[in-house]
Amino acid sequence: MSLKFHWFLPTNGGDGRHVVGGGHGLTAGHSGRPSDVAYLTMVARAAEENGFEAALTPAGAWCDDAWLSTAMLSQTSQRLKFLVAFRPGLVSPYLAAQMAGTFQNLTDGRLLLNVVTGGESHEQRMYGDYLDKDARYRRADEFLEIVRRLWAGETVDFHGEHLSVDAAHLDQIPDPVPAIYFGGSSPAAGIVAAKHADVYLTWGEPPSAVAEKIAWIRGLAAQLKRERPVRFGIRMHTISRDTAEEAWAEADRLLAGISPEMIAKVQRGLRLSESEGQKRMLALNGGSKDGLEVYPNVWAGVGLVRGGAGTALVGSHEQVADRIEEYASLGIEEFVLSAYPHLEGTYWFGEGVLPILAERGLWKDERPRRHHNAAVPFAAAGR
């Protein structure tokens, strides 16, 4: 097995050496590094140089538009693919299928798609979307059926509860057809994922909870008699250092930068979330700075002030590799990661953890050959 590793583009108001908030209807915090083309290019280039396959780019009112951001960055980077998050229903299925084809054809196939239904009705209404959560999932089901049929070259007539098209046909099919990533912990989300997702994404929970989610989606896929298998991915942060002591010292530093007042304010907002996944993240951190290591090397501190993915892998490079191997043994094949700051984080993980996973046969280095003769990396020098 060769695992896939993806990074994250901080288009949500900046990057820096402290936890930057935002997500699930929250306003993002701002730091000293702007989310402009120059800095995001540095992150994207560092990600591709360090062996990451793609970069997740978020969607929502708390960040810049993912389609426009990645279209620009595709011209300032070379190989990195872009896992573009977008919300079905805010753009028509035909236009989304056409946009994906344009992106693929102009970037030589560097697009992946993360379909996000939206977990906050008050944020959806900012976009003019007044459907409730379950209706948004039913619309996503219709949306993905139309889009997949268009990508298959069909002429589509479809009249559903929320979406309709007549004689829809694409002149330019994306090549390759972008993989669909989809997450969600509610019953409505599970059905859509089991029907349409190439990769089901979960936020980082302890392995037992992740195993339950994998079994749940596989069971739904079997009930639907789905022929192609679902792949599974996980979204987490990382704090990887030469020693465990250094890694936990960094986690403590990040925690020290979060005030009790900020925790209380953010937690009040996050408890209003309709997202089942967000509720599970909140349950892990409990709104307190105490007891945040919820499983060996799995730390829930990020979720105190950040919506969405709220856990981090913390430890020495070897320990982080061990946890990744444990998640892989459950069926996780793709890891969508990030760090604070995102730029330096690519090097800590890329130079510290990926070589260990390569030695174990869990990751294949597919970078151009010139990387194979690089000098001893700073993150691995202490091993």
Please write the tens of the pLDDT for every residue from 309-325.
999 999 999 999 999 99
CA angle 348, 349, 351 (to 5 degrees): 70
Tokens of 199: 């990769």
Please write the tens of the pLDDT for every residue from 263-278.
999 999 899 889 999 9
Which residues of the chain, if any, have pLDDT below 50? Answer: 28, 372-378, 380-383
Determine the pLDDT at residue 295: 98
DSSP secondary structure code for residue 22 in this structure: B
Q: Angle at which helices 207-223 and 187-196 pack, to 10 degrees?
A: 60
Determine the pLDDT at residue 27: 55
Q: How far apart are CA 270 and CA 285, in angstroms?
A: 12
**Which residues fall within 8 angstroms of residue 293, CB to CB, at 6 or more apart?**
299, 300, 314
Q: Which residue has the tokens 């992150």?
A: 43
**What percentage of the chain reaches a pLDDT higher than 70?**
93
In the Cβ-directed half-sphere of 80, how many Cα atoms lie within 13 Å? 33
Bridge-based pairing of strands 180-183 and 111-115 is: parallel
CATH number of 4-245+314-373: 3.20.20.30
Determine the pLDDT at residue 12: 85
pTM above threshold 0.85? yes
Q: Which of 259, 109, 244, 113 is nearest to 179 (CA)?
A: 113
Q: Which of 134, 159, 158, 148 is nearest to 195 (CA)?
A: 148
| Cβ atoms within 10 Å, residue 252 | 12
Determine the pLDDT at residue 97: 97
Determine the pLDDT at residue 379: 52
Q: Mark residue 308 as left, alpha or beta (left: phi above 0; alpha: psi -120 to 50; beta: remaining).
A: left
Determine the pLDDT at residue 118: 85
Q: Which of 130, 127, 160, 135 is nearest to 146 (CA)?
A: 160
> For the chain, what is the mean pLDDT?
93
